[in-house]
Amino acid sequence: MFEITRLTVEHLAAGCVTDCSTPRIGFSLSSDRRGAQLADAELTVGDWSAHVTSGQNAAYVGPALLPFTTYSVRLNATDDAGETATATTTFETGRMETPWKGRWISDPSYHFTEPKVSPVPMVFRKEITTNKPIARARLYATAMGIYEAELNGQKLGEQYFAPGFTSYKSYLQYQTYDVTALLTGADTLTFTVAGGWAVGSFVFTRKNRVTADRQALLAELRIEYTDGTTETIGTDATWQVSENGPVRMADLYDGETYDATKEISDWHNAAPETLKVTPAITADYGAPVKAHEVRKPVAVMTAPDGETIYDFGQNLAGVVRIKFNGKAGQVVTVRHAEILNPDGSLNTTFLRTAKATATYTCRDGEQTYSPRFSYMGFRYAGVKGVDAKDLEIEAVALYSDVEHSGSFRCSDEMLNKLQSNITWGAKSNFVDIPTDCPQRDERMGWTGDIAVFSPTALYNFELSRFLEKWLRDVKAEQLPTGGIPNTVPVQGYGFPATMPEMAVDWWGDACVLVPWALYEATGSLDVLRMMYPTMQKYVKACCFWAGFGIGKHRYIWHTPSVLHFGDWVAPDVPKMSQWQARSKYTATASLCNTSGTLAKIARILGKTEDAAKYKELSRKVADAYCSVLTDGNGKTKEEFQTAYVLPLYLNMFPENVKAKAAENLVKLVEKNDYKIGTGFPGTPYILFALADNGHADTAYKMLLNTQCPSWLYEVRVGATTVWERWDGLDENGECPIGDDGTDMMISYNHYASGAVGAFLYRRVLGVEPTEAGYRKFKFAPVVGGGITEAEGTVGTPYGVIKAAWKIADGEMTMTVAVPVGTECTVVLPSGEEKVLGSGEYTVTAKA
């Protein structure tokens, strides 16, 4: 049967509210007939229709869309055998720049000046009376701070931390709530607004009031009555405000303090507020943070001081939910940690200043509590103030609502655990923006981390909205001279404050590498178009900073190493300064990579002159690397794994020395007992550099190594996520690092080194796009390491690719499901290739 398996508007199958005047519609198809092709697709939006040739997103270009309107979308598709299929969905337009009738309001008497902490949450309220039948009612809301809206005490929507984390000086998102069925005639609308990122304390220096001096609210309830009249109730001075509600403290790092005995008091009138910034206010676009997995404890223990320790068996980002019978005034505290001390107590040392504590004052009777304005990174929770036998406790994972679209499994259980750890690392760090870690006083949008992790992330999750939204922030935060701040949104973080125009290799590269990874995974040109000017400016800035030498040295990027992160966290040298000292190699390779990628992007966008210019630049940089940083014969002047990995992976060596360089890398790896020696820039690529240059055996030895430092060492000693430092725990489960001059930089939930995940999909399983968005893809497993089978799924805009291979009795069996609209080249162990159209296939060959 020919079917439409997915119909989306702005990447959403349902519930899209958009301010975009040309929303994009995409679809995927399936058929049980091999080789089925789409013959015709007619898209209808309202009264407008058009024919499209593929399910790749097509922009609506009909008559101007009206604000506050629901549009129906219909797709009639016909395949090349004349079978037809139909699907429908709807989307809604948001405000589309309709001026707000509501005004920003705050509490004028509230002067929040304490340093390094977050403000007491404000509560706003408004009584609403309606006395006619309602056809449609929507609440539009945003805030300076993070808010939750309630109607008659019921939370609206499922989102945590609305309005989300954006480059606030440029734009702020508003949320839309359908309250049609909830209004009763006499209703109370309440908003609790905590400090969040905009007003609360953020960044390890614990800056606060970065965007606003105190919280503020902007909301509007728009009611359409069945008699055709409309009414709009906006925030104004008739709303009331109080700082005397039950949420006594809320801070992203420190946690939350909640007093359930407190009736909100001291209501007084709110007043108009003038913000320090004038952001555009747009319908929210990214992937809102929501509650996902709920985990019960796998073990309960008692710490020496009597604290009950719950082990949830999984490190994650989120909150606890507790349920018990309490007495008014009883105080329960929940602390959080990723690891335990040898004596069984929580180890909170590496949270640095983050207190990560929920404190709850009970009322009488059975009650449940879960923080709403903070989150923690934890595997263990320590509870005091209630007996373990009386308490039900769960851990709720909070992360951006992204679809888990890929999977990988093989015959090696340790690799399967690594795959699980990689996906948990991603979930824990997709909290509205891509963060570095979810536990200590950072949780910032570190650009370098997602720059290297995005290809792996995109194998596992559908991230179009999540990454496109963050790239809007990157674009907005680009410095006038082209540099990209190391954390996006910047939000109080200054580095490199002394030289604001500084470009930082691999970290700033996110503006090129993330759009490119998204393009490869989805085929979307939109993101390339949006980011092209940003990339150009960035590469120009990189060239400027590289260009201080003469001759070939003009292409060697050698600004002082303290201004780079170099081979960040490389385990073969223990000191931060030694990681940074490798920056000449990492930065030069970065420039070769960004300019080379930009050349490809320019070609795709039809900018042929630019393409030639960037290609030539990339070539010159590669040549300079080989001439200046190697002996010209495949040996790097300073020998370390990353120094070889980058030029090998990026194809920077001339053909005649490439093999020698690969052999030199193998020698280094052998000398290191197949242990990893790379930092952030080298880790994603080392196995490719080996396997793609004839050394798959060495790549597998490294991948399957269980000695420290290696991916599977972490697995062997019990990791449930990927760590920031390879040696984060010793064989006894204790942290051996201590204060090593990195300011306690030891997180157990950092996804960057999990960038090896792309190798699991691309080489172990063997699925990789050969045309963006997988319109064409390869199924070419690189068999090794004693692995006898692998299977996986890859989500693509055309549908899901399913691939599996198995070796038994000297035979290799490969099965693949090829989505309609795509073409798969299966590469057999002999090297023979078979090109397959859509459908399901099994191929066997001699192993």
Catalytic sites, residue numbers: 442, 724
Residues 6 or more apart in contact with residue 619 via CB below 8 angstroms: none
Cα separation, 642 vs 565, in Å, equals: 13
Residue 670: count of CB within 10 angstroms of its CB: 12
Closest distance to ligand BGC from the beta carbon of 378 (Å)? 17
Please give the residues from 512 up to 571 whose contact with ligand BGC meets the rule CB under 6 A.
565, 568
Q: Which is nearer to ligand BGC, 453 or 688 (CB)?
A: 453
Closest distance to ligand BGC from the beta carbon of 315 (Å)? 15
Sheet holding 38-45, edge to edge: 16-18, 84-93, 70-79, 38-45, 48-52
Cα separation, 586 vs 641, in Å, equals: 11
Closest distance to ligand BGC from the beta carbon of 751 (Å)? 9
Largest CA distance in the chain: 84
- Name which position in 137, 217, 437, 517 contacts ligand BGC (CB under 6 A): 437
Cα separation, 100 vs 601, in Å, equals: 39
Q: Of 305-313, 362-370, 446-454, 456-464, which part binds ligand BGC (CB under 6 A)?
A: 446-454
- Decide: is 745 part of the binding site for ligand BGC (CB under 6 A): yes
- Decide: is 748 part of the binding site for ligand BGC (CB under 6 A): no
Residue 88: count of CB within 10 angstroms of its CB: 12
* Residue 336: closest CA among 307, 361, 363: 307
Q: Encoding tokens for residue 254?
A: 């420190």
CB-nearest residue to ligand BGC: 436
- Decide: is 338 part of the binding site for ligand BGC (CB under 6 A): no
User: Pattern of binders to ligand BGC over 564-583, x per CB under 6 A?
Assistant: -x--x---------------
Q: Which is nearer to ligand BGC, 462 or 567 (CB)?
A: 567
Task: Give the distance, in angstroms, between the CA of residue 63 and the centroid of all CA atoms in the same chain.
Answer: 35
Closest distance to ligand BGC from the beta carbon of 542 (Å)? 18
Q: Which is nearer to ligand BGC, 4 or 510 (CB)?
A: 510
Q: Of 445-453, 466-474, 589-597, 835-843, which part binds ligand BGC (CB under 6 A)?
A: 445-453
Sheet holding 823-827, edge to edge: 767-771, 776-779, 823-827, 833-836
Query: Is 383 in contact with 312 (CB distance < 8 Å)?
Result: no
Closest distance to ligand BGC from the beta carbon of 530 (Å)? 24
Q: Which is nearer to ligand BGC, 504 or 836 (CB)?
A: 504
Q: Which is nearer to ligand BGC, 225 or 495 (CB)?
A: 495
* Residue 477: closest CA among 449, 450, 510: 510
Q: Residues touching ligand BGC: how many (CB under 6 A)?
A: 10
- Name which position in 79, 243, 441, 449 contacts ligand BGC (CB under 6 A): 449
Cα separation, 425 vs 721, in Å, equals: 5
Task: Provide the 3-class DSSP secondary structure of residue 358.
Answer: strand
Q: φ and ψ at 355, to 5 degrees?
A: -85, -25
Closest distance to ligand BGC from the beta carbon of 596 (Å)? 23
Q: Which is nearer to ligand BGC, 354 or 602 (CB)?
A: 354
Closest distance to ligand BGC from the beta carbon of 681 (Å)? 11
Please give the residues from 233 up to 262 whose contact with ligand BGC meets the rule CB under 6 A.
none
Between CA 724 and CA 380, with CA 201 as vertex, the angle to 5 degrees is: 45
Q: Which is nearer to ligand BGC, 148 or 442 (CB)?
A: 442
User: Pattern of binders to ligand BGC over 100-129, x per CB under 6 A?
Assistant: ------------------------------
Backbone CA torsion sign across 687, 691, 693, 694 = positive
Concatenating the DSSP letter of every residue in 194-242 gives E-TTTTS-BTTTTB--SS-SS-EEEEEEEEEETTS-EEEEE--TTSEEE
Q: Of 117-125, 242-250, 417-425, 435-443, which part binds ligand BGC (CB under 6 A)?
A: 435-443
Q: Which is nearer to ligand BGC, 474 or 767 (CB)?
A: 474
Closest distance to ligand BGC from the beta carbon of 466 (Å)? 18
CA distances from 71 to 50, 92, 93, 129, 444 (A): 15, 6, 8, 29, 37
Q: Which is nearer to ligand BGC, 119 or 448 (CB)?
A: 448
- Decide: is 436 part of the binding site for ligand BGC (CB under 6 A): yes
- Name which position in 442, 462, 505, 692 contacts ligand BGC (CB under 6 A): 442
Q: Which is nearer to ligand BGC, 444 or 602 (CB)?
A: 444
Q: Of 371-379, 419-427, 441-449, 455-463, which part binds ligand BGC (CB under 6 A)?
A: 441-449
Q: Of 19-27, 337-345, 443-451, 454-462, which part binds ligand BGC (CB under 6 A)?
A: 443-451
In eight-state DSSP terms, residue 487 is B
Closest distance to ligand BGC from the beta carbon of 445 (Å)? 10
Cα separation, 696 vs 780, in Å, equals: 13
Q: Encoding tokens for residue 792?
A: 């996986």
Between CA 664 and CA 672, with CA 667 as vertex, the angle to 5 degrees is: 130
Q: Which is nearer to ligand BGC, 442 or 462 (CB)?
A: 442
In eight-state DSSP terms, residue 350 is G
Cα separation, 533 vs 424, in Å, equals: 34
Backbone CA torsion sign across 145, 151, 152, 154 = negative
Q: Of 105-113, 121-129, 434-442, 786-794, which part binds ligand BGC (CB under 6 A)?
A: 434-442
Cα separation, 257 vs 369, in Å, equals: 11
- Decide: is 448 part of the binding site for ligand BGC (CB under 6 A): yes
Between CA 502 and CA 561, with CA 438 as vertex, the angle to 5 degrees is: 25
- Name which position in 446, 466, 685, 700 contacts ligand BGC (CB under 6 A): 446
CA distances from 753 to 553, 711, 726, 733 (A): 31, 8, 9, 20
Cα separation, 258 vs 194, in Å, equals: 13
In eight-state DSSP terms, residue 351 is G
| Peptide bond before residue 496 is cis, with ω within 30 degrees of 0 | yes
Q: Which is nearer to ligand BGC, 461 or 493 (CB)?
A: 493
Please give the residues from 799 up to 838 whose contact with ligand BGC meets the rule CB under 6 A.
none
Closest distance to ligand BGC from the beta carbon of 757 (Å)? 17
Closest distance to ligand BGC from the beta carbon of 792 (Å)? 28
Q: Which is nearer to ligand BGC, 653 or 748 (CB)?
A: 748
Q: Encoding tokens for residue 249?
A: 């403290």
Cα separation, 648 vs 657, in Å, equals: 10
Q: With both helix axes pointing from N to C terminus, report the angle between 510-522 and 525-546 in degrees, rounded to the nearest 10.
A: 150
Closest distance to ligand BGC from the beta carbon of 459 (Å)? 21
In eight-state DSSP terms, residue 761 is I
In eight-state DSSP terms, residue 300 is E
Q: Of 419-427, 442-450, 452-460, 817-825, which part binds ligand BGC (CB under 6 A)?
A: 442-450
Cα separation, 419 vs 9, in Å, equals: 31
Closest distance to ligand BGC from the beta carbon of 567 (Å)? 12
Enumerate binding residues for ligand BGC (CB under 6 A).
Answer: 436-437, 442, 446, 448-449, 565, 568, 745, 750
